[in-house]
Amino acid sequence: MIRFLTKGILRDRSRSLFPILIVAAGAFLTVAFYCYIQGAEINVVRSSANLRFGHVRVMTAAYAAEADQIPNDAALTGVEALKEKLRTLAPEMDWVARIQFGGLLDVPDAGGETRIQAPAAGMAVDLLTPGSIEPGLLNLERILVRGRLPQRAGEVLIGDELARKLGLEPGAPVTLVGSAMHGGMSMANLAVAGTIRFGIQAMDRTGIIADLADIRGALDMEDAAGEVLGLFRDGIYVHERAKALAAAFNAGPAAPSDSFRPVMQTLAQQPGLDIMIEKMGLFTAILVLVFLLAMSLVQWNAGLIGTLRRHGEFGLRLALGESKDRAYLSLLGEAVIIGLIGSAIGTALGLALAYYLQAHGIDVSGMMKNMSFLMDPILRAKITPFAFAVGFVPGLLASVIGTAIAGRAIYKRRTATLFKELET
């Protein structure tokens, strides 16, 4: 029976071509969008982890309560000992110390007097230690616009837009005026090694990347840091592993009333990322459901048209003694075969597009000039094992549901009118 139905579908293209194309289009869109969503999630998570939050983030309780205000007076102390403890607790992770800071960038003229000033928001990372992973995490080689990366103490990178606004070229001297950890004013003479472009407007307008040792000296933060970030070495955020690690660390002996006790937060606890990480499965289900409903409606209409066109065929089959149930089941069998063929074609095309995006990506940095969140400007997709099956869900269900609804017309046929129809 299956072989007979398959031959009929393949030989009568006028009956099967349009439904197969509809199913293939729906499966293609479902697979392509599913893989894109998976890639976008990984992109945002990886960028947010590398640039800002890590997969887990250790701060003092006081710092965590006001993290948006960068309260370096509540920074961690004894950072090297803390990092050793963290390496023992989670040896599969890399641990890096960072300082977020703000201040005023003063640019001198030829006589050493202030020529122009601008507010700046910076990040201090380990740039100069041999083997440091920070330049790779921040992708500094790729985002470098002019000049070079810092090679000695006292050199910084600044946003290219900020540099152009201030009229700075690589090698120009600048002075960072800020507030020290214990409340006093601090000043540090620095040199611009190069300019960078993150593709994020806020960072390009005010951003500074400096070496951790330079900022520690400038802000009186020896062996201190605003935060210590932990990142899984494979670069993939696993929420359950991060959550278990945070629970184990926070269950330590420190008194809950101590506002300077170190606490650990997961990436999913950071603002704006909690919903995305924990609800991504729901978003995927909604996507598949939307395509399922849309394709079911289209397949219903296609089934109605096909049923009307095959009005005489079903009348003849019923007149020859075929039961309505058997005719209806054969119609559903055709729908299953059409769904399988269309879904296979659409899935193959969707995976081909997803593979191209995964391997090569599309650079959309020109469209992200006004973006305010951390995201790599290269659009990529991610092919997962479920991607091979997700297209068959709406493809098969829509084809069967649409045909099942349209095929009810078979049961409305009256045997008394069959011969009159055949005569005409």
| Average pLDDT, 10 consecutive residues per value, the chain (424 residues) | 57 67 84 84 81 92 88 91 93 94 89 88 92 90 91 92 91 91 86 87 84 92 93 86 92 72 90 68 73 69 60 65 74 81 90 89 63 59 86 78 72 58 52
Give the per-residue pLDDT at 309.
Answer: 59
Closest C-alpha among 169, 160, 168, 147 to residue 208: 160
User: Which residue bears the tokens 């869900």?
Assistant: 393
**What are the start-end ranges of the H helices in 251-373?**
274-309, 311-319, 324-359
Residues with Cβ < 8 Å from 385, sequence gap 6 or more?
Answer: none
The Cα–Cα gap between 367 and 128 comes to: 33
Question: In this structure, which amino acid lies at residue 151?
Answer: Q
Burial pattern 336-371, b for ≥16 Cβ within 10 A else e, equals ebbbbbbbbbbbebbbeebeebbeebeeeeeebeeb
The Cα–Cα gap between 145 and 281 comes to: 38
| Run of H or E residues at 13 | helix 13-48
- Strand runs (DSSP E) across 64-172, as ranges? 76-77, 93-108, 114-125, 144-147, 155-159
Give the per-residue pLDDT at 242.
Answer: 92
- Strand runs (DSSP E) across 34-128, as ranges? 56-60, 76-77, 93-108, 114-125
Give the per-residue pLDDT at 39.
Answer: 83
Distances (CA, A) of 412 to 256, 313, 404, 415: 73, 15, 14, 10
Dihedral of the alpha carbons of 196, 198, 200, 204, in degrees to the nearest 10: -10
Classified as helix, coil or strand, 361 is coil
Structure tokens at 270: 């950071």
The Cα–Cα gap between 366 and 133 comes to: 28
Sign of CA dihedral 165, 167, 169, 175: negative
Structure tokens at 392: 């068959």
Structure tokens at 121: 């928001």
Classified as helix, coil or strand, 210 is strand
Closest C-alpha among 146, 243, 226, 116 to residue 179: 226
Give the per-residue pLDDT at 372.
Answer: 44
